[in-house]
């Protein structure tokens, strides 16, 4: 596999999580997410609150990505059932992004596809966090692709003369 720069991996992570300036999602303290911890809204909201800045910015460097993914996995262990599947889909997308070979178009496309497929999950988690925790996880960016939409407007001026 060719050498991949930190900025390439960081961008791939952001793309896959739909989370640059987006949800995303991410660095959590392992000590706060033990395996014996029960799933609960209260616990999950506490973890989201404690790591809101990291969630909204993602991993700062490529060296931080493996820990970011591991910690995101640990966060999934306390995710309440309401968002567990959405959380797991975002986690899977992060793992996919971590395997990207930026010189292989098929690999890059797989990451883009994963990001697109994760869009709804990211929106669901963001909405859940706002409703249940009062937290704004940042804007959830739209996945790229599809047809460009161009909005145009037309003004019609009535030039008829009314008279009597």
C-alpha triplet 89, 96, 4: angle, nearest 5°? 150
Instruction: Taking residues 100-125, report their average pLDDT.
Output: 93
For residue 36, give its domain range.
Answer: 6-133
Closest-CA residue to 94 (of 11, 8, 9, 13): 13
pTM of the predicted protein model = 0.64
Q: Which residue has the tokens 């793992």?
A: 95
Q: Give a yes or no: residue 160 inside a domain.
A: no
Q: Give a yes or no: residue 163 inside a domain.
A: no
Where is average pLDDT lowest: 103-112, 114-123, 125-134, 150-159? 150-159
Q: Give a yes or no: residue 141 inside a domain.
A: no
- As for how many domains the chain has, the answer is 1
pLDDT tens track for 136-160:
987 776 554 443 434 444 455 656 6
Q: Token pair for residue 34?
A: 């033990």
Question: What's the chain's length in residues?
Answer: 164
Q: CA-CA distance, 51 to 115, in Å (whole number)?
A: 22
Query: Bigger pLDDT: 47 or 29?
Result: 47
pLDDT tens track for 3-44:
344 444 444 444 444 443 334 333 333 334 444 568 999 999
Q: Give a yes or no: residue 87 inside a domain.
A: yes
Q: Give a yes or no: residue 147 inside a domain.
A: no
pLDDT at 103: 94
43 and 28 in contact (C-beta within 8 Å)? no
Count of other CB atoms within 10 angstroms of residue 67: 14
Q: Give a yes or no: residue 146 inside a domain.
A: no
Q: Give a yes or no: residue 50 inside a domain.
A: yes
Q: CA-CA distance, 66 to 85, in Å (whole number)?
A: 21
């Amino acid at each position: 596999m060719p050498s991949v720069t930190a900025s390439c991996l960081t961008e791939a992570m952001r793309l896959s999580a739909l989370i640059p300036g987006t949800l995303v999602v991410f660095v959590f303290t392992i000590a706060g997410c033990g395996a014996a911890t029960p799933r609960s809204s209260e616990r999950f909201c506490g973890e989201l609150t404690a790591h809101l800045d990291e969630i909204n910015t993602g991993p700062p460097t490529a060296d931080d990505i493996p820990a970011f993914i591991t910690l995101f996995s640990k966060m999934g262990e306390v995710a309440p059932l309401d968002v567990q599947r959405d959380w797991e889909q975002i986690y899977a997308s992060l793992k996919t992004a971590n395997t990207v070979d930026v010189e292989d178009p098929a690999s890059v496309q797989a990451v883009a596809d994963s990001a697109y497929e994760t869009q709804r999950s990211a929106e669901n988690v963001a909405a859940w966090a706002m409703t249940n925790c009062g937290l704004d996880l940042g804007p959830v960016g739209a996945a790229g692709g599809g047809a460009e939409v161009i909005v145009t407007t037309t003004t019609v001026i009535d030039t008829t003369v009314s008279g009597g």
